[in-house]
């Protein structure tokens, strides 16, 4: 059975992690509990996550906002009705136009059923989502963490997370991803929540303003 977090257990899990790891405890002591970052398990959320790939959050939100201004709630049919020029005007790159359309086609043709995969094992969800061009491990991790609220993801493809871990653990710049996974091992089965604590430290230290 997969584990999920919600508003009833989120702070308890944070506190449990603080008892296990002094560095996480120091972050929570300084900045408080992190926000419980969640999103609906929808096509629109996956489009936002695609927009977030390899760009700053500010750039992704600017594109998403422009898209919403143009079409309102984001559905597969609406994405497929837009021309390349219209998507480019919403700051979609050539690659992301392809990715958004491939995802829209998969949902429309019912090759991908988001309500069906929502209850599946994480490995099956990863397998199904990665069949779509442009969806890789980072996008799957973010969807599992924020939309499906699974408790034990640690996306090492996330630069902010890696940098925050380096800072709080004072890691050498040559520290490998394998070593980082070993550090995170003691946080199982709550690595998602540990990631949120680390993200919160990264955001607060840099005074990054997140948009909703």
CB-based burial, 146-155: b 16+ in 10 Å, e otherwise: bbbbbbbbbb
CA distance 168 to 86: 43
The tens digit of pLDDT for each residue in 5-49 reads: 999 999 999 999 999 999 999 999 999 999 999 999 999 999 999
**Residues 6 or more apart in contact with residue 12 via CB below 8 angstroms:** none
* CATH, residue 77: 1.10.340.30
Is 116 in the same domain as 159?
Answer: no
Residues 95 and 139 in one domain: yes
The pLDDT of residue 57 is 83
The residue from 125, 147, 169 where one domain ends is: 147
What is the chain's mean pLDDT, rounded?
95
Q: Are residues 97 and 171 in the same domain?
A: no
pLDDT digits (tens, 9 = 90+) for 114-155: 999 999 999 999 999 999 999 999 999 999 999 999 999 999
* 211 has pLDDT over 70: no
Task: Check if the beta carbon of residue 16 is closer than 8 Å to that of residue 24.
Answer: no
Between CA 200 and CA 35 the distance in angstroms is 8
* Predicted pLDDT of residue 1: 63
Q: Is residue 117 part of a domain?
A: yes
What's the confidence (pLDDT) of residue 208? Answer: 80
Question: What span, in angstroms and rounded, lies between the C-alpha atoms of 51 and 37?
Answer: 17
């Amino acid at each position: 059975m997969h584990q999920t977090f919600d508003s009833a257990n989120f702070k308890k899990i944070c506190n449990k992690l603080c008892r296990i790891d002094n560095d996480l405890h120091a972050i929570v002591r300084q900045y408080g509990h992190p926000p419980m970052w969640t999103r609906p398990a929808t096509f629109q959320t996956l489009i936002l996550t695609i927009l977030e790939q390899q760009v700053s959050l500010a750039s992704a939100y600017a594109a998403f906002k422009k898209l919403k201004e143009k079409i309102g709630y984001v559905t597969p049919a609406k994405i497929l009705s837009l021309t390349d020029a219209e998507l480019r005007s919403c700051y979609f790159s050539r690659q992301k136009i392809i990715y958004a359309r491939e995802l829209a086609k998969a949902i429309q043709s019912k090759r991908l059923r988001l309500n069906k995969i929502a209850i599946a094992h994480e490995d099956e969800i990863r397998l199904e989502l990665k069949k779509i061009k442009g969806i890789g491990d980072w996008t799957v991790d973010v969807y599992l963490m924020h939309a499906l609220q699974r408790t034990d993801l640690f996306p090492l493809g996330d630069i902010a997370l890696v940098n925050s871990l380096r800072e709080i653990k004072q890691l050498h710049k040559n520290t490998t991803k394998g070593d980082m996974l070993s550090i995170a091992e003691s946080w199982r089965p709550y690595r998602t929540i540990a990631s949120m604590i680390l993200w919160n430290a990264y955001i607060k230290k840099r005074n990054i303003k997140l948009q909703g």
